Chains A and B, each alone.
Chain A
Amino acid sequence: GEDVEQSLFLSVREGDSSVINCTYTDSSSTYLYWYKQEPGAGLQLLTYIFSNMDMKQDQRLTVLLNKKDKHLSLRIADTQTGDSAIYFCALGGYNKLIFGAGTRLAVHP
């Protein structure tokens, strides 16, 4: 079946880069997404990458996709306290999205 796994917690110092990782089993998904969820809020779409791409950069965000290893990562450059949140990796297309359990990013001074 489809499975998406993420490490549960990441702690970084303000100004450093954060790298959040995701591994998956289903390779048929068209797009791979990163969503951000702040406490008590819904999900904010950060960025996404088409399955035939290796990398996508969007301002401070860099997404890397290794299809062979079924590994997706999100790098946040110059991490700020406002980046503290839960980050979800998701796979899918225009219909069903399959989410990981989320990685809680804590940014400390």
Chain B
Amino acid sequence: DAGVTQSPTHLIKTRGQQVTLRCSPKSGHDTVSWYQQALGQGPQFIFQYYEEEERQRGNFPDRFSGHQFPNYSSELNVNALLLGDSALYLCASSAGKRYEQYFGPGTRLTVT
């Protein structure tokens, strides 16, 4: 049974560019959450998708947007990249309103 998968593993972008990160949830899971983890810090909640809708959003600007597809996979888009967007982006999946969230390995984004 595959766990949560994310792509790409690493990404280098330039300030002002746009980036798309992808996540496939664990088999049987229909809910995807995205987190940003800056170096030396704990993950910060960006948003959560359930039934292709954004169910909850954290304190992130509108430059951060997302999408969930009918197969429950999800994308995180970040526009107008800033140096401060450099971080590990983690995707977590869960089943409906169950309380266990399982994380993928993350995508390391570097903005230069």
Q: Which residues of A come within 8 Å of B, CB atoms?
A: 4, 30-31, 35, 41-45, 48, 88, 90, 93-102
Contact A97 B105 (CB under 8 A): no
B58 at the interface (CB under 8 A from A): yes
- Chain A residues whose C-beta falls within 8 Å of the C-beta of B56 in the assembled complex: 95-96
A-B contact pairs, 23 of them (CB 8 A): A4-B42, A30-B99, A31-B99, A41-B106, A42-B105, A45-B100, A45-B102, A88-B43, A94-B96, A94-B97, A94-B98, A95-B33, A95-B48, A95-B56, A96-B33, A96-B45, A96-B48, A96-B58, A97-B45, A98-B45, A101-B42, A102-B41, A102-B42
A101-B40, A102-B42 are known contacts. Are A42 and B96 too (CB-CB below 8 A)? Answer: no
Shortest C-beta distance, A37 to chain B (Å), equals 9
Shortest C-beta distance, A57 to chain B (Å), equals 18
- Chain B residues whose C-beta falls within 8 Å of the C-beta of A98 in the assembled complex: 45
Instruction: Provide the bound-state CA to CA distance between A88 and B41, in Å.
Output: 10
Contact A94 B99 (CB under 8 A): yes
Contact B101 A97 (CB under 8 A): yes
Q: Which residues of B come within 8 Å of A, CB atoms?
A: 4, 31, 33, 35, 40-45, 48, 55-56, 58, 90, 92, 94, 96-106
Interface centre among B31, B43, B101 (most CB of A within 10 A): B101
Instruction: Provide the bound-state CA to CA distance between A35 and B4, in Å.
Output: 15
Q: What 10 A-B pairs come out closest when comparing CB atoms?
A: A99-B42, A43-B103, A42-B103, A94-B97, A42-B105, A96-B45, A95-B56, A31-B99, A42-B106, A101-B42
Instruction: Provide the bound-state CA to CA distance between A48 and B101, in Å.
Output: 11
Shortest C-beta distance, A47 to chain B (Å), equals 10
- Chain B residues whose C-beta falls within 8 Å of the C-beta of A100 in the assembled complex: 42
Interface centre among A45, A48, A97 (most CB of B within 10 A): A97
Q: From the candidates B58, B90, B96, B97, name the one contacting A43 in the complex (CB within 8 A).
A: B90
Shortest C-beta distance, A74 to chain B (Å), equals 15
